[in-house]
Amino acid sequence: MPEIVPARILIVDDEAPLMNALRNTLKEQGYDATGFNSAKAALDAVRAARFDLLLTDLMMPEMNGIELLQAAMKCDSDLVAIIMTGEGTIATAVEAMKSGALDYILKPFKLSAILPVLERGLSVRRLRLQNAALEKEVRERTLQLENANKELEAFSYSVSHDLRAPLRHISGYAEMLGKTETNLSPKGLRYLGQISSAADRMGHLIDDLLEFSRMGRAEMRQIEVNLEQLRDDLIRDIAPELDGRNIVWKKDPLPRVMGDPVLLRQVWQNLIMNAVKYSRPRDPALIEIGCLEQTPDQATLFVRDNGVGFDMTYAQKLFGVFQRLHRAEDFEGTGVGLANVRRIIARHGGQTWAEGKPDAGATFYFTLPVAKA
């Protein structure tokens, strides 16, 4: 079993008999008690060693108890101070508590009155030390996370930048070869087309990697956002890209939320374009955008389609970077869009999840804070 270390108590009183009596009594009670008649000597002791409690007389010639506790707490901000005073100076003891003392005890001392105050002081001391340790750990973890994010962003930029140059060469020479070489066989032309197609896909992957990196550090502004307007504007903007497809839109009423309109438009764009893409085999395609439920604090929004759906066994992979559940030959994409959705919603304090069934459509849910009336 670990050795139990007794609490260290520093007693300061210019009346030597009282100080010695209290020190000896507390030692008998199992405390590691040290005593001084001089406030300045006691302060030197605080600078040299750590104590759990400071019991100081209020009225002393060199330095009064308030001055001592203030100086001592500059040395150790977690130190717990208790004032010792007579009946006639209780008001001053209360002033000492306003200056940082936890409590006061009256002279002449009664052991039954002192011990509960000491135990409470030690409990406060333990809490202060625990809080200080937690705050230090949080600071260290935050610094580690910030450094890791910076390294990841630098890595993403470096990789993207370094990959673009050879990629441009591949695309450029493939295009030149296709224009200048007339003796290529059908098989050679097919290979050349596959090279160009692979280079294009690689370019999209690089762009999406940079976009994902930017989403984590983009500045957010929290304002009231009209989700219905964002949704309707986006559907209107993408209409020319739908190639005359037969899409039935069901647009339910949506609440106003608190968030960044630019980032939330990105959420709508990714989810709605996914619904458009994966409902391509359907005629008509049915896409519903609405609110599942709303509380005074939070709204649960969704985008539902009657497309190809997915197997719920792999639902958690949907929101991972570069994770795809369908072949690139069937549906284009790099697998970054839903990862961006999750990152944006998480930055708004919300959650994301999905439900689906193969060949029976899919529904993507996310939560956002509701704007207060």
pLDDT, tens only, 275-315: 988 888 888 999 999 999 889 899 999 999 998 888 888 77
Element (DSSP H or E) covering residue 275: helix 261-278
Tokens of 73: 């707490």
Predicted local confidence at residue 364, as pLDDT? 92
Report yes or no on 172 lying in a domain: yes
Q: Which amino acid is at 44?
A: D
Task: Based on the fold, state whether residues 287 and 340 are members of the same structural domain.
Answer: yes
Is the domain of 240 the same as that of 284? yes
- Per-residue pLDDT for 179 more than 70? yes
Partners of 326 in the β-ladder: none
Q: Are 302 and 363 in contact (CB under 8 A)?
A: yes
Query: How far apart are the C-alpha atoms of 111 and 31, rounded to whole Å?
Result: 13
Q: What percent of the chain has pLDDT over 70?
A: 88
Encode 345-370: b = buried (16+ Cβ within 10 Å), e = exposed.
beebebebbbebeeeebbbbbbbbeb
Single residue among 186, 215, 244 that ends a domain in this structure: 215
Confidence of residue 171 (pLDDT cuts 50, 70, 90): confident
207 has a pLDDT exceeding 80: no
- Tell which phi-psi region holds residue 285, choosing left (phi > 0), alpha (psi between -120 and 50) or beta: beta
Q: Per-residue confidence at 1, pLDDT binned at 50, 70, 90?
A: very low
Query: At which of 178, 196, 215 does a domain end?
Result: 215
**Token duo for residue 28:** 């008998």
pLDDT of residue 313: 82
Helix axes 90-98, 65-75, angle to 10 degrees: 20
Are 260 and 277 found together in one domain?
yes
**Nearest alpha carbon to residue 339 among 362, 315, 322:** 322
pLDDT digits (tens, 9 = 90+) for 82-115: 888 876 667 777 777 777 888 888 887 788 888 8
- Per-residue pLDDT tens over the stretch 319-330: 775 555 555 554
Decide if pLDDT at 122 tops 80. yes
Structure confidence at residue 333 as a pLDDT band (50, 70, 90)? low
Query: Is the pLDDT assigned to residue 347 strictly greater than 80?
Result: yes
Q: Which domain, by its residues, includes 162?
A: 143-215
The whole-number pLDDT of residue 58 equals 83
Q: Are strands 362-369 and 352-356 parallel, antiparallel or unpaired?
A: antiparallel
List Cα–Cα distances, 355 to 284, 311, 313, 365, in angstroms.
Answer: 21, 9, 10, 8
**Strand extents, DSSP E, the chain:** 8-12, 32-36, 53-57, 80-85, 103-106, 223-226, 247-251, 256-259, 285-294, 298-305, 352-356, 362-369
Q: Are residues 273 and 354 in the same domain?
A: yes
At 236, which amino acid appears? Answer: R
Q: Please report, rounded to a whole number, the percentage of residues in the chain having pLDDT higher than 90.
A: 21
Residue 123 covered by a domain? no
**Tokens in use for 22?**
């209290």
Cβ neighbours of residue 342 closer than 8 Å, sequence gap 6 or more: 319, 352
Q: How many CB atoms lie within 10 A of CB 371?
A: 17
Highest mean pLDDT: which of 167-176, 199-208, 289-298? 289-298
| Mean pLDDT computed over every residue of the chain | 83
Backbone dihedral angles phi then psi of residue 114, each to the nearest 5 degrees? -75, -45
Structure tokens at 156: 């993403």
pLDDT tens digits, 28-79? 888 999 999 998 999 999 999 989 999 888 888 888 888 888 898 889 888 8
Q: Are strands 32-36 and 8-12 parallel, antiparallel or unpaired?
A: parallel
117 domain-assigned:
no
Q: What CATH number is associated with residue 51?
A: 3.40.50.2300
Q: Are residues 198 and 228 in the same domain?
A: no
Number of domains in the chain: 3
50: Cα within 13 Å, side-chain hemisphere: 9
pLDDT at 87: 64
Tell me whether residue 195 is in a domain. Answer: yes
Distance between CA 90 and CA 103 in Å, rounded? 11
Instruction: Report if residue 279 sits inside a domain.
Output: yes
Domain stops at, among 215, 234, 256: 215
In this structure, what CATH number is given to the domain that contains residue 237?
3.30.565.10
Residue with tokens 């001084």: 36
Question: 332: pLDDT confidence band, cut at 50, 70 and 90?
Answer: low
Asked if the structure places residue 210 within a domain, the reply is yes
The residue type found at 335 is: G
What sign does the CA torsion over 24, 26, 28, 32 have?
negative
Q: pLDDT tens across 222-258, in order?
A: 889 999 999 999 888 888 888 778 999 999 999 999 9
> Which of the residue ranges 139-153, 157-171, 291-305 has the most confident prediction, judged by mean pLDDT?
291-305
Q: Are strands 80-85 and 223-226 parallel, antiparallel or unpaired?
A: unpaired
Q: Is residue 368's pLDDT more than 90?
A: yes
Determine the 3-state secondary structure of 161 from DSSP: helix
The CATH code of the domain that includes 203 is 1.10.287
Q: Give 218's pLDDT tier (boundaries 50, 70, 90).
A: low
